[in-house]
Amino acid sequence: MKTVVVIPTYNEKENVAAMAEAVCAASPDVELLFVDDNSPDGTGNVIEQLIAVRRARGEANLHVLHREKKEGLGRAYVAGFRRALELGAERIVQMDCDFSHDPRDVARLLAEDADLVIGSRYVAGGGTPGWPFRRRLISRAGGLFIRTVTGMPIKDPTGGFKAWTAAALATIDFASVQSAGYSFQLEMNHRAWRAGLRIKEIPIQFTDRTRGVSKITPGIALESIRISLRLRRGSKKGHNK
């Protein structure tokens, strides 16, 4: 079953080479697709150089999709999913480029039999090592709020380390997801749950980046609250039909 790992990048030149090596070493049968939003630090050029080196060795498992500008994580993933499907992917893994997600866990996601497998920080065995208490509290409270408002039983509703089947992405019509930013994760999970897809959460250890600059801002939490309320209204309308 062909698998493509989709990784959005923006100013990740310090991480892309190590990430490509780590993913391919841990899961040599997968293909890797970087989706670069015209990073001003030259990330896209670094990826092109990596591809050239691999092609010279007869390897064709690394790809890049260059986008004209930064439009948000959600739009990058939509473009990446489309390209992965064009490459013939039957399963698609999504993950960050900053090593918050352990490349060795890709195989664990793919080993599960489900339409959507989520690498979860908040099921037994999962964790967020190194996080200060305040950050853990905010994250936990945010997850509880999302579950309460939407009714969605997923323990880590905003997690971004996931494996989808191509059929699952077609079922939920991923291209029509409205969220452009980090709440894309939440809306995709909600669509999968509402569609009755088989969802499984497995534990992961989520660690902070050691190189590059974080893209997380306080506005992300507010965006998740707003999207949760919108999804709740949509769910109520659906039940009233």
- pLDDT of 236: 47
**pTM for this one?**
0.89
Give the pLDDT of residue 181.
81
Contact 116, 189 (CB under 8 A): yes
Residue 238: name the closest of 165, 170, 150, 173 by CA: 150
Name, in order, each residue with C-beta under 8 angstroms of 52's C-beta and a sequence gap of 6 or more.
none
Block mean pLDDT (10 aa), the chain, length 241: 96 96 96 97 97 94 96 94 98 96 98 98 96 89 90 94 98 90 90 97 89 54 71 52 34
Q: What is the structure's pLDDT at 224?
A: 67
- Per-residue pLDDT at 104: 97
- HEC secondary structure over 80-144: HHHHHHHCCCCEEEECCCCCCCCHHHHHHHHCCCCCEEEEECCCCCCECCCCCHHHHHHHHHHHH
- The CATH code that applies to domain 3-240 is 3.90.550.10
The CA distance from 30 to 104, in Å, is 12
- What is the residue extent of each domain of the chain? 3-240
Q: Please report the pLDDT score of residue 93 as a whole number.
A: 98
Q: What pLDDT does 237 receive?
A: 43
Please answer whether residues 144 and 64 qualify as being in contact, where contact means their C-beta atoms are separated by less than 8 angstroms: no
Number of H helices, E strands in the chain: 8, 7
> Is 85 in contact with 173 (CB distance < 8 Å)?
no
SS3 62: strand
